[in-house]
């Protein structure tokens, strides 16, 4: 199926998609030089890509309220190159051609610069007709007819050179990871997401950032910093999605996306040393060496484990009435630890204690954290709050009592939520890795529940030194 790439931007109240093959660069707005006798909608001249270009506010062009600041998107079509100032870059997407709807002529009469629409990132986007924009807003001054502003740096872009530019240049997404600059070929990126909550996976390798909700489907996210051997710089702000052959789509968590650049292939050099995930580099601004990340090489060092962690549906979904009537489900106890929603198989839950008093174990190294008296027995307790960030620290937390090796053990949490009856079609396999304590992700409404494998969470009871709680 054929797909088209778009850069999605915000301009006023409009969500605009620009064909990515027209985009030369995305840069922070720089100093502006106003000009007398400006062409309509031209704010002035700006330096971008080492040349002087006319700058236009896209919101004003579309009859939207225009704000100061923003981001410059440098576009080229035929012999026209200019910088469009937008409010914000929302991301990049790949869209099936069949999913793009042409706007009817009657609607185009109201806004002629928008030619089509599609849905991506859960919202609707309108496609900018950039050739029509250049035709309706030519870069010629009123004072000197034919004195074009395009290419005032002394270099005129012709149709021939423009098409050659696209073939001889490599489009790159400039990114930051742990305070260092890198680049990723845009052709390797399926789309870019701005994540909400990245759900952690307890006991997963440190290069696993967690899971995010990608339009109703859990998506595995890896830490680019950890895979590159760099220290983590906190919560990532951007997650490019890449496709790994034989595995599928995964997310790569980065600190931020800086912009887009197109680099001549002649300026790109092969890395001769063994650098995980970085196969090429280029020199930026005569002094900065920027590594180009190869997603397949970056994830190749952990490929076998990643293949087992990527969420997979257990069964194909059959939505016929007969299938719905016989569809099975599983009962889960939903609990909250910090911001994480976890689930326990209900058949393993013996009972729930609204609150317990935890008595620390005098001997460390057992895997359990405390003992508690539940009235008819003293049971060892694993405090899940110690393993998840932002969890609470109440002295008398709720506790679920579960069966392990024929005996009772406790799991201390922040809150016991409810019993869920989840259809099997809403449960997706996470991994078969024998040490990972999460086996599935279950969807409950708008929430994702990480299903714990209790036998992998709790240590063997033989390791516990039985200690009665203090009176």
How far is the first Cα of the chain from the last one, in angstroms, to the nearest whole number? 70
> What confidence tens digit (pLDDT) does each residue in 134-173 have?
887 776 533 333 334 443 333 333 333 333 344 578 888 8
- Residue 285, pLDDT score: 65
- Residue 277, pLDDT score: 87
Domain span at residue 225 reads: 169-310
In a domain, 220, yes or no: yes
Mean of the per-residue pLDDT values for the chain?
A: 78
- Same domain flag for 152 and 31: yes
CA 232 remoteness from chain centre: 16
Q: Is the pLDDT of residue 13 over 80?
A: yes
Q: Is the pLDDT of residue 433 over 60?
A: no
Higher pLDDT pick, 146 / 207? 207
In a domain, 98, yes or no: yes
- Same domain flag for 148 and 182: no
- Residue 153, pLDDT score: 34
Q: Which of 255, 326, 260 is nearest to 73 (CA)?
A: 260
Higher pLDDT pick, 366 / 43? 43
- Same domain flag for 73 and 105: yes
Place of tokens 């997603």: 295
Any idea what the CATH number is for the domain that residue 79 is in? 2.40.50.180
Residue 15: pLDDT band (50, 70, 90) is: very high
- Residue 152, pLDDT score: 35
**Alpha-carbon torsion angle 182, 185, 191, 197, nearest 10:** -20
> What confidence tens digit (pLDDT) does each residue in 22-55 have?
888 888 777 777 665 566 788 888 877 767 788 8
Q: Is the pLDDT of residue 441 over 70?
A: yes
- Residue 450, pLDDT score: 85
- In sequence order, what DSSP letters do the residues of 330-388 get, joined into one string? EEEEEEEETTEEEEEEGGGEEEEES----EE-SS--SS--EEEE-SS-EEEEEEGGGGS
Global pTM value: 0.50
- Residue 2, pLDDT score: 76
Q: Is the pLDDT of residue 358 over 60?
A: yes
- Residue 128, pLDDT score: 92
Please say whether the beta carbons of 279 and 270 come within 8 A: yes
Place of tokens 């923003």: 70
- Same domain flag for 436 and 337: yes
The tally of domains found in the chain comes to 3
Residue 282: pLDDT band (50, 70, 90) is: confident
In a domain, 288, yes or no: yes
Alpha carbons 429 and 445: distance in angstroms, whole number: 18
- Residue 219, pLDDT score: 87
Q: Is the pLDDT of residue 293 over 60?
A: yes
- Residue 292, pLDDT score: 92
Alpha carbons 289 and 294: distance in angstroms, whole number: 16
Place of tokens 């440190």: 206
Q: Is the pLDDT of residue 239 over 50?
A: yes
Residues of the chain by 3-state class (helix, strand, coil), percent to 5: 15, 45, 35
Proportion of the chain above pLDDT 90, given as a percent: 8
Which of residues 135, 157, 179 is at a domain's end? Answer: 157
In a domain, 354, yes or no: yes
- Same domain flag for 339 and 453: yes
What are φ and ψ of residue 462, in 5° steps? -65, -20
In a domain, 104, yes or no: yes
Q: Is the pLDDT of residue 127 over 90?
A: yes
- Residue 149, pLDDT score: 43
In a domain, 318, yes or no: no
- Residue 125, pLDDT score: 92
């Amino acid at each position: 199926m054929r797909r088209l790439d778009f850069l999605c931007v915000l301009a006023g109240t409009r969500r605009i998609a620009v064909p990515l093959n027209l985009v030369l660069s995305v840069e922070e707005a720089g100093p502006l030089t106003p000009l007398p006798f400006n062409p309509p909608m031209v704010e002035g001249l700006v330096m971008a890509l080492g040349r002087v270009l006319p700058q236009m506010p896209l919101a004003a062009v579309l009859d939207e309220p225009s704000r100061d600041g923003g981001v410059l998107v440098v576009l080229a079509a035929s012999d026209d190159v200019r910088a469009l100032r937008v409010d914000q870059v929302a991301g990049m997407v790949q869209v099936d051609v069949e999913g793009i709807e042409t706007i009817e002529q009657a609607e185009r009469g109201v806004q002629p610069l928008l030619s089509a629409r599609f849905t991506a990132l859960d919202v609707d986007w309108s496609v900018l007709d950039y050739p029509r924009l250049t035709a309706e807003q030519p870069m010629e001054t009123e004072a000197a007819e034919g004195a074009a502003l395009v290419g005032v740096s002394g270099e005129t872009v012709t149709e021939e050179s423009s098409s050659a530019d696209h073939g001889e240049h490599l489009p790159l997404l400039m990114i930051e990871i742990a305070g260092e600059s890198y680049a990723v070929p845009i052709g390797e990126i399926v789309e870019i997401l701005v994540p909400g909550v990245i759900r952690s996976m307890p006991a997963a390798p440190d290069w696993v950032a967690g899971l995010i909700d990608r339009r109703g489907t859990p998506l595995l996210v890896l830490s680019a910093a950890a895979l590159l051997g760099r220290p983590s710089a906190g919560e990532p702000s951007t997650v490019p999605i890449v496709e790994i052959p034989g595995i599928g789509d995964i997310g790569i968590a980065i600190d931020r996306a800086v912009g887009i650049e197109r680099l001549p292939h002649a300026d790109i050099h092969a890395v001769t040393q063994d650098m995980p995930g970085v196969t090429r580099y280029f020199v930026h601004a005569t002094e900065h060496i920027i590594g180009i990340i190869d997603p397949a090489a970056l994830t190749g060092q952990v490929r076998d484990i990643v293949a087992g962690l990527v969420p997979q549906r257990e069964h194909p979904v059959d939505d016929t009435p007969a299938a719905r009537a016989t569809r099975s489900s599983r009962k889960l106890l939903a609990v909250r630890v910090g911001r994480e929603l976890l689930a326990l198989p209900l058949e393993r839950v013996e009972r729930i204690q609204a609150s317990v008093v935890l008595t620390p174990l005098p001997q460390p190294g057992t895997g359990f954290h405390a003992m508690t008296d539940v009235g008819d027995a003293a049971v060892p307790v694993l405090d899940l709050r110690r393993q998840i960030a932002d969890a609470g620290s109440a002295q008398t937390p709720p506790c679920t009592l579960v069966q392990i090796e024929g005996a009772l053990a406790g799991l201390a949490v922040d809150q016991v939520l409810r019993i869920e009856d989840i259809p099997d079609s809403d449960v997706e396999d996470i991994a078969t890795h024998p040490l990972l304590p999460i086996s599935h992700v279950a969807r409950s409404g708008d929430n994702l529940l990480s299903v714990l494998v209790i036998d992998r969470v709790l240590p063997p009871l033989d390791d516990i030194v039985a200690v009665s709680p203090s009176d």
